[in-house]
Amino acid sequence: MKRWAVVLLLALLLAGHAAAETGISVMSCVEADGEYGDLVNAPINAFEELLDQWRQAHAEVTVSYQTRPIGEMSILARMDHLPDVFILDAKSGRIYAREGLLCDVTEALTQSEYIDAYRLDSLTPYVYYGYIAAFPALAKYCQTVIYDRDVFEEFPSTWDALCGFDARGRGYEGIIAFGNGGGTPAVSALLSPVLLNGDGVAWLMSMVNGEKAHSFRDAAFVAAVDRVKAMLDAPVFLKSALRESSEAAIAAFASQKTPAILVSGDDVYRTLETVKAKAPELYDRLGFAALPGGPAAAGFRYGLFVNAKLKEDPEKLRLCEDLCVWLTGRRYADAVASACGRQGFTAADPAAVEAFRSECGDETLKRLAEYTDGADTCMDLNQYLYHAVWSGFGGNITKKDPDAPNAEIIANGMQDVYEQYYLDR
């Protein structure tokens, strides 16, 4: 009897120990790119480093970490097997929020120690009907024209001036290459400045908030699409880059076939690394600017989401929110900066910005930092159009097809998809 009692006691103790342990699963759709170095991979490397630090500080919590393509994560969502905490892009995150798969993290985010560093306005793509569905994840997304300062003393501030630049006369194949892959991303990038010349801010916020005061069928939007279609036929753009990968456009810029390139997100740093390796003299001449009429746009390409199922387990939810706070904010920005000498994604305080500029020995990075520090983080229509709406439509209006739909048909299709995926019906 005593032996059975001991066995029973051990079983109870082991069961109690297992119950005391908490398991948290973390998954990211981003992994390090083996073709590039620290400048490109610092964001994901810093994220994983901080995850390990949190794991060591919470020995009672078992933390698993995996990377999976977005497509596989979508399959997990359909199977109702999403991890506890996961990184996704804005488009997927907004759909997941609509389907009730995400926790509302507004309170955890706004009450965190980093509230003054998050720049909540830049979370626009992650706001779903008044609540914030994500912590800002990985690195600050920025869209910028990178140009050769020997060619442009100052990048043109109007389309007339840019289109009037004699690129071919100077031996170039075009003025701007699209390092964001061309096609649909190029169109959404051009729509941003076109719409901002009108009442783009009100239009954007109405669409984000689902107020139904505006739509893609609005005459102003249809006219903007028509104008963009005409702009893409102008000699300002490197035509081959409109249909090629971002890597091909970056290579064209590094080979100085074009004196400027429009890039966004991680491709900003891929461009810098490629140019530095292939044309170091060009690297030292790089300048940064916005498209004419558009903002110096910055936002967040990725969000750190919490599974809605955790609402049923308040203690585990608290731990996951604590983990999300740990993985973001100034601590993360500092980890990125220490890894490669570039800033993270937060709006660091003036003292931190000045420290970066004084300590960073790379003049090109300092010029980029100065540019992005002044970027508009809220009203980047490209972020919303492409990541949160247009990707679902999948349209490409740059095809040389005589039967291609006109702007009004495109607008109708976008509105239909917007209502299907982004509005409650």
Residues 248 and 320 in one domain: no
Residue 5 has pLDDT above 50, yes or no: no
Collapsing DSSP to helix, strand or coil, 26 comes out as strand
Place of tokens 């480093």: 49
11 located within any domain: no
Helical axes 246-254 vs 266-278, angle rounded to 10°:
40
Rounded CA separation 277/98 (Å):
44
- Comparing CA positions, the residue from 356, 352, 355 lying closest to residue 366 is 356
Tell me the average pLDDT across 384-389.
60
Residue 264 has pLDDT above 50, yes or no: yes
Answer positive or negative: Cα dihedral of 348, 354, 355, 357.
Answer: positive
Residues 127 and 30 in one domain: yes
Highest mean pLDDT among 95-104, 187-196, 384-393: 95-104
Residue 235: DSSP 8-state: T
Place of tokens 């060619």: 151
Contact 262, 292 (CB under 8 A): no
Rounded CA separation 123/365 (Å):
24
Residues 177 and 258 in one domain: yes
Instruction: Count the Cβ atoms, other than its own, within 10 Å of residue 231.
Output: 18
Q: Indicate the burial class of 59 (C-beta count within 10 angstroms; 0-12, 13-18, 19 or more).
A: exposed
Rounded CA separation 230/206 (Å):
27
> Can you give the pLDDT at residue 84?
96
Residues 196 and 259 in one domain: yes
> Can you give the pLDDT at residue 8?
37
Residue 149 has pLDDT above 90, yes or no: yes
Residues 363 and 276 in one domain: no
> Can you give the pLDDT at residue 12?
34
Residues 205 and 128 in one domain: no
Rounded CA separation 124/360 (Å):
31
2 located within any domain: no
Domain end, chosen from 372, 387, 408, is at 372
Rounded CA separation 50/333 (Å):
11
CATH value at residue 114: 3.40.190.10
Rounded CA separation 156/349 (Å):
31
Segment among 87-91, 213-217, 229-233 with least mean pLDDT: 229-233
163 located within any domain: yes
Rounded CA separation 97/342 (Å):
32
Strand partners, 260: 147, 176
Residue 386 has pLDDT above 70, yes or no: no
Instruction: Count the Cβ atoms, other than its own, within 10 Å of residue 65.
Output: 16
Q: Please report, rounded to a whole number, the percentage of residues in the chain having pLDDT higher than 90.
A: 23
13 located within any domain: no
Full residue range of the structural domain in which residue 129 is found: 24-140+299-372
201-215 pLDDT, tens per residue?
777 777 766 777 888
Residues 352 and 399 in one domain: no
Residues 116 and 214 in one domain: no
What is the amino acid identity at position 256? Q
Collapsing DSSP to helix, strand or coil, 139 comes out as strand
Rounded CA separation 290/311 (Å):
42
Contact 277, 153 (CB under 8 A): no
SS (H, E, C) 291-344: CCCCCCEEEEEEEEEEEHHHHHCHHHHHHHHHHHHHCCHHHHHHHHHHHHCCCC
Contact 418, 204 (CB under 8 A): no
Residues 83 and 228 in one domain: no
10 located within any domain: no
Residues 83 and 157 in one domain: no
Contact 248, 241 (CB under 8 A): yes
CA dist list (Å): 159 to 54, 190, 353, 375, 403: 49, 11, 32, 20, 28
Contact 271, 179 (CB under 8 A): yes
Residues 340 and 357 in one domain: yes
Segment among 3-17, 114-128, 351-365 with least mean pLDDT: 3-17
> Can you give the pLDDT at residue 314?
93
Residues 286 and 356 in one domain: no
Q: Please report, rounded to a whole number, the percentage of residues in the chain having pLDDT higher than 70.
A: 72
324 located within any domain: yes
Residue 186 has pLDDT above 70, yes or no: no
Q: What is the biggest distance separating any 2 CA atoms in the chain, rounded to whole angstroms?
A: 98
Q: How many domains is the chain built from?
A: 2
Helix then strand then coil, % of the chain, to nearest 5:
55, 15, 30
> Can you give the pLDDT at residue 241?
58
Residue 290: DSSP 8-state: P
3 located within any domain: no
Rounded CA separation 353/342 (Å):
11
Task: Write the DSSP string, 209-222.
Answer: HT--S--TTSHHHH
Place of tokens 């009897």: 1
Tell me the average pLDDT across 36-55.
90
8 located within any domain: no
